[in-house]
Every structure is written in structure tokens, then in C-alpha cells.
């Protein structure tokens, strides 16, 4: 579902489905599926999954209505493995007259209402179950093939998903008709033409707000510590202990970087996850600054261009300012 590729797929063979007799025996209370195949049990879907699928098929008939109950993940996975995919909806060829249409050409229809009024933003991370079809009914991907929901930032997916999922609230299931220009745009190896997705929104992780740019970006203050190299720094929060990271020692950090005109160009804080690195993997100014720090410390550093990217094209130019928080030292 990324803008450069479809969601990851499993490459293993589909498990060998049990026979009707095995399903009947299981429903009658058998403690195990009777062996009717030479394939090992490890290649079969889970016993619980087949029981759930059997119950849904017996109570709803031929599997169609079962698709409305996405809460039975084991049953959905078993259905995908049994049939090779999910059956296409009846309106896969074109959006119906009651579909909501956006100026972009995206069309959608709510299948199951959600709760609340919180919608994800364009940079938030969402957790979803989904299934996708081409307009000829081919199910080219579904999270149920893997048996688990998928999480991704909305700014890392095709445009139709970025726009469409923002219309949803948690618990909602919605069908989208995404024109090719909002999907894969005819790229080789990708599904072609208009695509149809059923999406169930399970969770929203709101992207943290960007840190406020410091007021002292243009130059280090008078009380800053200045090294012989030209690096300047101020301790914003002291750490604990006296152990400084060695050159090859992995450290866990949060950081935000600005140019002196106030532009934030990178931030692990905004991404919502720290990074692990060593002093040998970073620009010289970072290498020197980390060597001054201890675990738990937060420090602002002013890094002259000669210790940063040295004018390289495509990199932030001039002196750079970083707030670095050293979260932990790891064993080498």
C-alpha cells in the first residue's frame, strides 16, 4: 500500500483445506481434524480458523455474508487460503449511485459505521484491515492473507488511500473506488486501472506536533560551551552518571534539527520513534557532541557547516542546530 509498492505479501503456499467430512466432524465435536491428505498438518490453516470458517459457512451459506463479519480474522484468513482470495463485491466494476464522490474522482460508501468523530490526519499512522480488487474482480491483496492488521503512515501510501482514509473514523468499514491517477498510475508490475478497496479502520496513532523552533537558532548564546572545533552546545537537561559513549557503541537518541532560518528539516520526535546509531555513522558535529553526553541528557548543539554537510547538494546548508536527547547506551 505504499506509494511505490503494494502491501507486502506472504510467499508461502496456501494451506491445504480440510474436506467437507473433516469440517462436519470438527463441528460435531471431534478433537482434531481427521487426516485425509498426505500434506503435513503444519501446512493447514489453524484448527480454530477452520472451525470459525465452517460455522460461518454453515450459518450464512456459501461465504458471501461471512465477508460482512471482519471480526472473525481466523475465518477470513481461512477463507482466503481456501479460495485463493476474497470474493469481489457486486459493485466492483463501478461505484453505485449512492457513493460519495470527491472532486479528485475518489468515490466511497460506508459499509459499517464507526464511532466517535476523530479522523486521521494526512501524516498520522493508521492500523487497518483491507482487501483490494481490480474491476474484473481479482483480489490482488488483503491483510487477511497474513492474518493480521497492517499499520502505515498515511503520507506513505497511494493518493487515494491518503485522501480516503481521512474520511473514516475508528471502527468504520468503507469501500473505495480509486481511479488510476490516484492509485498506481499504470506503473509496471502494479495493479492497473481503477482499484476497489474495502478498508476497516482499527486504530489511529496521531503524529506528534513538531517541536517549536528555539529562539536562539541564529547563533549560540553567550553561555554556550564552545569546543576548539567550533562546535557549541548547551545542556538543556542533565543526565545521570559519568559514562560517555565510545566511538563504536550503539546509542539510542531522539533529535530534531533546524537550519538557522527556523526550518525543521528532520525529527525523530515527529516520526514518533527514536533511532539507534553509533558515533561513526553520523556527521562530525554529531560525533563530537555525542562524545560529550551521558545517558538521560538533552543538549542543544550548534554545528558549523565544516562539521555538518560541508555544502553537499541536497543536504541542509550552513550551520545546523540540533536538540539531541541521549536515551540510552547499548553494549558494543
Give the catalytic positions in this structure. Answer: 255, 265-266, 283, 309, 322
Phi, psi of 150 (to 5 degrees): -120, 140
Q: 254: which strand partners?
A: 325
d(CA 30, CA 16): 19
Cβ contacts of residue 263 below 8 Å, gap of 6+? none
Phi, psi of 164 (to 5 degrees): -70, -45
How far is residue 13 from each of residues 9, 82, 91, 186, measured CA to CA in Å? 11, 11, 30, 28
- Give the count of beta carbons closer than 10 Å to the beta carbon of residue 290: 23
As given in the structure block, the three cell numbers for residue 52 are 470459525
Helix ranges, 193-332 (H): 268-271, 284-292
Cβ contacts of residue 322 below 8 Å, gap of 6+? 255, 256, 257, 258, 286, 289, 300, 301, 303
d(CA 126, CA 111): 19
Amino acid at each position: 500500500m505504499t506509494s511505490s509498492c503494494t502491501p507486502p505479501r506472504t510467499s508461502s503456499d496456501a494451506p491445504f483445506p480440510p474436506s467437507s467430512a473433516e469440517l462436519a466432524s470438527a463441528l460435531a465435536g471431534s478433537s482434531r481434524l481427521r487426516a485425509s491428505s498426505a500434506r503435513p498438518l503444519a501446512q493447514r490453516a489453524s484448527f480454530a480458523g477452520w472451525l470459525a470458517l465452517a460455522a460461518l459457512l454453515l450459518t450464512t451459506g456459501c461465504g458471501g455474508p461471512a465477508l460482512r463479519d471482519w471480526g472473525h480474522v481466523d475465518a477470513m484468513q481461512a477463507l482466503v487460503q481456501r479460495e485463493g482470495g476474497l470474493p469481489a463485491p457486486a459493485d466492483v466494476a463501478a461505484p453505485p449511485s449512492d457513493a460519495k464522490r470527491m472532486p479528485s474522482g475518489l468515490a466511497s460508501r460506508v459499509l459499517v459505521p464507526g464511532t466517535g468523530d476523530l479522523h486521521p490526519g494526512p501524516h498520522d499512522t493508521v492500523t487497518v484491515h483491507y482487501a483490494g480488487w481490480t474491476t474484473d474482480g481479482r483480489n490482488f491483496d488483503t491483510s487477511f492473507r497474513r492474518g493480521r492488521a497492517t499499520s502505515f503512515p498515511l503520507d506513505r501510501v497511494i493518493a487515494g488511500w491518503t485522501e480516503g482514509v481521512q474520511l473514516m473514523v475508528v471502527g468504520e468499514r468503507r469501500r473505495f473506488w480509486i481511479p488510476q491517477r490516484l492509485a498506481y498510475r499504470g506503473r509496471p508490475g502494479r495493479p492497473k486501472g481503477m482499484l476497489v478497496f474495502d478498508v476497516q479502520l482499527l486504530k489511529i496513532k496521531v503524529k506528534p506536533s513538531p517541536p517549536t523552533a528555539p529562539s536562539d537558532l541564529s547563533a549560540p548564546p553567550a553561555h554556550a560551551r564552545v569546543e576548539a572545533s567550533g562546535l557549541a552546545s548547551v545542556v538543556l537537561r542533565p543526565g545521570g552518571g559519568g559514562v560517555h559513549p565510545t566511538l563504536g557503541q550503539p546509542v539510542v537518541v531522539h533529535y530534531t534539527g533546524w537550519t538557522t532560518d527556523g526550518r525543521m528539516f528532520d525529527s525523530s520526535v515527529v516520526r514518533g520513534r527514536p533511532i539507534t546509531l553509533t558515533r561513526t555513522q553520523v556527521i562530525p558535529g554529531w560525533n563530537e557532541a555525542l562524545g560529550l553526553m551521558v545517558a538521560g541528557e538533552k543538549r542543544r548543539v550548534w554545528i558549523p557547516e565544516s562539521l555538518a554537510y560541508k555544502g553537499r547538494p541536497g543536504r541542509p546548508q550552513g550551520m545546523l542546530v540540533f536538540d539531541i536527547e541521549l536515551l540510552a547506551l547499548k553494549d558494543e
